[in-house]
Chain A
Amino acid sequence: MNTGARIRNVINHLEEGFMATALAIMTLLTFIQVVLREFGTGWVWSLEATTYVFAWLVLVGMSYGVRTQSHIAVDIIARKMSPTRRRTMGLAAIILCLLYCGFMFYGASIFVDRLIMLGNNARDIPLPRWLLTGIMPVAFALLAYRFVELGWAISKGEVKGLSAEHHTAVTTNKTPNGDPS
């Protein structure tokens, strides 16, 4: 494995590990809150912490979804096209996705910029708000990077479309009596 591939591999694992940990933390925080309430107590910061962890999970998960091609897309038209046309349309779709990333990145950057200017802390967590929301522009940049990667794979013909793998795997399985396994 060359260095580039190794770094990518590490990033992939980090992504998965981060998402799994985030979900575990959210679940436990909410569960503990229920238990503590039975004893008439609770952590004030728990709810806010949960929502921020949730936000991070979703934002990191967006680009992970592109890499694993798990975003839902309507590909009925694409599947009926010739491979060349399909590739062209796939690339056009990638450009639209990048446009979306660009808009959201821009908006998120201003958002975080404003929060830096305001400089206030979150409601219950003693951390500045810009730090907690700062993941947002990063996440959209990462999302754009994943779309560029996917676009590259489509142009080289390695991948058929944006959510291709899953659905074509379903439709190309033509044995009417099912798999012998």
Chain B
Amino acid sequence: MSALFLVAILFICLAMSVPVAISLGLASISTILLFADQSLLSLSQRFFHTTQIYPLLAVPFFILAATFMTTGGVAKRMIDFANALVGHFRGGLAMAALLACAFFSAVSGSAPATVVAVGSVMIAGMIRSGYSERFAAGVICNAGTLGILIPPSIVMVIYGAVTESSIGNLFIAGMLPGAILTIAMMITIAVIARRQNLPRQPKVSLKEAIHTGLEAFWGLILLVIILGGIYLGIFTPTEAAAVSAVYAFVVAVFIYKDIKLKDVPQVLTESAKTTAMLMFIIANAYLFAFVLTTEQIPQIASEWIVGLGLPPWGFLIVVNILLLVFGNFMEPTSVVLILTPIIFPIATQMGIDPVHLGVMMVLNMQIGLVTPPVGLNLFVTASVAKMPMEEVIRAAIPWLLVLLSVLIIITYVPIVSLIVPSLLGVL
């Protein structure tokens, strides 16, 4: 009963265009007041406590690092490098856009940020070179989702915080699936390019390729610093995020000199705004998860699902469908925060590895980012490409096939997510 009420209030609020954060909060508060003897005091205490959760501190730092990298010309240098590597193939510019998204994902933990960084240059570039607008937008919109799969990833930080599993392991586990998805999309582009006879870019000399590589080096090395530092135990993921932010500041201001010192407050304000917006959602989603727990909804759900006698693979199908449906209506962090408390205990009971489950959830969230009605990447692509929303949706849909096939591989071949961490001996 209380569960129904909770969900009903949530959806009514969402439908009325109440901000997602407040919808979550209001649904939690009203359920608590009507059905449980928890007080408003304990709810506001919990709200405040969210900002004291150590792993979540990584969120603002990664946002800051990405903002420095976007405004600081790092993205542009990565695009040049990607272009030098794959531009001369048929459809090379699209491949370069994809590769640049993969590179930029390695410094940014968010998918929309990746779309903005690469899309604002590459969509116009592709159209100028004779690609159809729809193809250009489709590539960027989908390749941008790599932002949350290739480490660092804010969604993984949140999954790690909620399940209290190692964020470092999740980061390391995301690399291979990220590479597989990049390759799968690369092949798709190659096939389409052949069929549509898309243009090639002039081949660059080896010397020039090395030059662009060195230019992009300062950005590309960041992932090594993050993963290396965490892996060697020099710093925690949260500290790694702060180190990234300081590093990105130094690179943008002193090495590339694309940002002047007087522009730094602007970057800080912009990042602080994004942080506050995201944390407001997260804090309320924690309230929501708390209400789920006090109402014992995870237990009821898990008894029900276990009672169905589903085999693990059947359970994973259910999880995938659930995540895809929720992912269509909410942005990734909220979905992870709301559904993880329900899914995680059942999954552990079935012997599914937490890291594998995490990678799988991230992939589901990627699909949610490019499916209407609430696909953040769709909104962002529409605004950087200056295209109507409907057109972007049509552009993004065909690529879902690629994402879905990779999702199936990730879901049913756990070794893909687990092999790198276990080879490194961290799992």
Contacts and interface: CB of A to CB of B under 8 A. Distances in A.
A16 to B, nearest CB: 5
A27 B245 contact: yes
Contacts of B222: none
Interface stretch (B42-50, B81-89, B403-411): B42-50
Contact of A100 (B22, B265, B277, B388): B22
Contact of B26 (A34, A65, A96): A96
Contacts of A96: 13, 16, 18, 22, 26
Contact of B276 (A17, A60, A93): A60
A65 B277 contact: yes
Contact of B273 (A65, A97, A171, A179): A65
A169 interface: yes
A136 B273 contact: no
B258 interface: no
Contacts of A22: 272
A176 B391 contact: yes
Contacts of B271: 23
A61 B243 contact: no
Contacts, number: 217
Contact of B272 (A20, A33, A72, A167): A20
Chief secondary structure at chain B's binding surface: helix
A61 B246 contact: no
A57 B56 CA distance: 14
A30 interface: yes
Contacts of A34: 234-235, 239, 242-243
Interface string A159-181: 00111001101110111111100
Given A19-B273, A26-B60, A104 B47 contact: yes
A20 B41 contact: no
Interface string B212-252: 00000000000000000000001100110111011000000
B102 to A, nearest CB: 25
A104 B383 contact: no
Interface string A82-116: 00000001101100110110011011101100100
A75 interface: yes
A100 B60 CA distance: 25
Nearest to A28: B246
* Range class of the A interface residue count: 35 or more
A72 B331 contact: yes
Interface in B61-79: 61, 64
Given A31-B242, A55-B52, A107-B39, A74 B17 contact: yes
Given A72-B331, A74-B374, A162-B19, A61 B279 contact: yes
A78 interface: yes
Chief secondary structure at chain A's binding surface: helix
B176 to A, nearest CB: 28
A121 B246 CA distance: 31
B141 to A, nearest CB: 13
A20 B262 CA distance: 13
Nearest to A92: B16
A70 B17 CA distance: 13
Contacts of B268: 19-21, 23-24
B335 interface: no
A135 B159 CA distance: 28
B20 A77 contact: no
A131 interface: no
A93 B17 contact: yes
B26 A163 contact: no
Interface in B1-28: 13-22, 25-26
A171 B381 CA distance: 12
Given A30-B57, A106-B40, A74 B246 contact: no
Interface string B341-383: 0000000000000000000000000000000111010010011
Interface of A: 16-17, 19-24, 26-28, 30-31, 33-34, 47, 50-51, 54-55, 57-58, 60-62, 64-65, 68, 70-78, 89-90, 92-93, 96-97, 99-100, 103-104, 106-108, 110-111, 114, 133, 136, 161-163, 166-167, 169-171, 173-179
Given A20-B269, A65-B277, A103-B33, 8 more contacts: A31-B242, A58-B276, A61-B280, A72-B20, A73-B19, A76-B372, A77-B15, A136-B44
